[in-house]
Structure 1
Amino acid sequence: MNITLKENQKIFFASDFHLGTPSASSSLDREKKIIRWLELIEKEAAAVFLLGDLFDFWFEYDTVIPKGYLRFLSKITQMRQQGVPVFFFTGNHDLWMKDYFTQELDIPVFHNPISLQVNQKKFLIGHGDGLGPGDNTYKVLKKIFTNRSCQWLFKWLHPDVGIRLATRWSKRSRINNSLKGEDEFKGKESEWLYLYCLDMEKKMHFDYYVFGHRHLPLSIPVGNSSMYFNLGEWVSQYHYGVFNGHGFQLINFKG
């Protein structure tokens, strides 16, 4: 994908909104904050990339989608009608996006990292789940969750049952990760996404590697001329990335 920025235009990146958790009221407050952020950036945005886990759970049945998020979806729809390109990526919590957003809102959905060139700078962007060494249990689970036969079987559960089960699974997974300290920085040599970037840089040069998933805002050099950025999350931190044609910056949205 290639984007040429006009004067005063920027590219914006955010990830891990986790709408729907941990409660309806806190999710609604976060949703309103996300909308305020979108309203802030939309006039400058040449494109907006939302890099996965936008919802704490999302599954598209043939004729049903999860209840809620109307304010967020309405704002995204408005931006698309005004000509702002918006791109979604699936994360480990919303792997089951299919064609709803593409058909209804004209929003492309990517299931894997993509390369992006903006002016003269090259990006590799994605959610980040299952990349790099380690996390072998999740890699096995992801193969199961993305298997079409398994998805076909799951959709025969009534939405009230399927969504409730998946929401409980998501909550338990998040609690387990917190107990294991996986939301803490333990040095760059323990960061699987950073190690993935190092390996990719040996094969092909990118100026910027931009991912989510990690729930930590990170900025780490990759070799002598590249940077790895992690966007963090919006449950408590509210960071986003912006590229102005010359450099990339992580910003905390006070909102």
Structure 2
Amino acid sequence: MDIGRSINIELLEGKKVYFASDQHFGAPNEYSSKKREKIFIEFLNKISYDAQVLFLLGDLFDFWHEYKTVVPKGFIRVLGKLAELSDRGIQIYFFTGNHDLWMNDYLQEELQVILFTKEQEFIINGKSFFVAHGDGLGPGDLGYKRMKKLFTNPIARFLFQWLHPDIGVALGNYLSRKNKLISGAEDIKFLGEDNEWLILFSKEKLKEKFYNYFIFGHRHLPMNLSLSSTMESRYVNLGDWIVYFTYAVFDGQNLELLNYKES
């Protein structure tokens, strides 16, 4: 597995880094999605006063596919708010998830977002972070890994481009919403450290290199767990904005996993 060269971030006095994931806007329907969009925009307004960096760790949309000149309809309030944050100088890092992996350059050109399609290492105020959406990492989930290879295959993407957008987006939305587990419509339970694939993945990575924090989305279950009794390394899953409305914040020294509705 190859990750890019680590990116160094030094926080200005009083500034923080925020992490959020798995909003799945568009699901399960337009009415429910817009209610959640408003809550997320409230969150973005709140953090705009002290955020230096915002990490979005994938599945912002329940389905996203960019044609050469067309993007999916909707989400204008969220995109507009992200554009506003970017214009104010807040750096936005976006990691594609399994629901919005067909991104090209729209967010980069319109919002000046820095886009990642795989895991990346960051050094923030001297602390090391391993950051990824989390899909396809760790043992197991072989069916999804095969499916991801198909979806990211250049030939498959080329063929999908030839579908009329009304057909392609409708088909994508149908297939995406049909998967209730990924869309967060089913209760997701903690499987135990020996059965959580991303925890197992993180522990294996620690054998190769030390990281203070492993930050993931994808799992939809908020978790902030110690990975070692001898090293200060933590596994953090950001949860989602369907059931939990959770996010993480790093102030340069400590990282917290918080619930927006309770903060």
Q: What residue is the counterpart of 1:104 in the other structure?
A: 110
2:23 alignment partner AA: F
State the secondary structure of the residue aligned to 2:201. Answer: helix
| Deviation string, structure 1 residues 114-152 (Cα, Å, up to 9, x no partner) | 001111100001100000000000000000000111000
List gaps (5 residues or longer) in structure 2. Answer: 1-6
- 2:175 counterpart of 1:169: yes
* 1:177–1:183 CA contact under 8 A, matched in 2: no
- 2:193 counterpart of 1:193: no
Deviation of 1:186 (Å): 1.4
| Cα pair distance change 1:176/1:28, threshold 3 Å | closer
1:226 alignment partner AA: S
Runs of 4+ in 1 over 4 A off after TM superposition: 175-179
Deviation of 1:197 (Å): 0.3
Paired with 2:134 and 2:159, the residues of 1 have a C-alpha distance of 27
State the secondary structure of the residue aligned to 1:174. Answer: coil
2:163 alignment partner AA: L
1:146 alignment partner AA: T
| Deviation string, structure 1 residues 2-26 (Cα, Å, up to 9, x no partner) | 1111221110000000000011111
Paired with 1:101 and 1:145, the residues of 2 have a C-alpha distance of 20
Aligned-residue sequence identity (percent) comes to 45
1:195 alignment partner AA: L
Paired with 1:93 and 1:172, the residues of 2 have a C-alpha distance of 12
Q: What residue is the counterpart of 2:139 in the other structure?
A: 133
* 2:240–2:246 CA contact under 8 A, matched in 1: yes
Show the 5 A alignment for 1:1-255.
1-175=7-181, 183-223=188-228, 224-254=231-261
Deviation of 1:174 (Å): 2.2
State the secondary structure of the residue aligned to 2:128. Answer: strand
| Cα pair distance change 1:178/1:33, threshold 3 Å | closer
Deviation of 1:171 (Å): 1.6
State the secondary structure of the residue aligned to 2:248. Answer: strand
* 2:124–2:252 CA contact under 8 A, matched in 1: yes
Paired with 1:187 and 1:197, the residues of 2 have a C-alpha distance of 14
* 1:211–1:230 CA contact under 8 A, matched in 2: yes
Paired with 2:248 and 2:158, the residues of 1 have a C-alpha distance of 36
The TM-score normalised by the length of structure 1 is 0.96
The TM-score normalised by the length of structure 2 is 0.93
State the secondary structure of the residue aligned to 1:189. Answer: coil
Q: What residue is the counterpart of 2:3 in the other structure?
A: none
Higher deviation after alignment, 97-106 or 13-22: 97-106
Q: Number of aligned pairs?
A: 254
Paired with 2:42 and 2:60, the residues of 1 have a C-alpha distance of 16
Q: What RMSD over aligned residues (CA atoms) do the two structures have, in Å?
A: 1.5
* 1:9–1:44 CA contact under 8 A, matched in 2: yes
| Deviation string, structure 1 residues 138-190 (Cα, Å, up to 9, x no partner) | 000000000111000001111111111111111222258879x7821111111
State the secondary structure of the residue aligned to 1:198. Answer: helix
* 1:126–1:211 CA contact under 8 A, matched in 2: yes
| Deviation string, structure 1 residues 14-64 (Cα, Å, up to 9, x no partner) | 000000001111100111111100000011111000000000000000110
Deviation of 1:225 (Å): 1.7
Deviation of 1:248 (Å): 0.7
Paired with 2:104 and 2:182, the residues of 1 have a C-alpha distance of 28
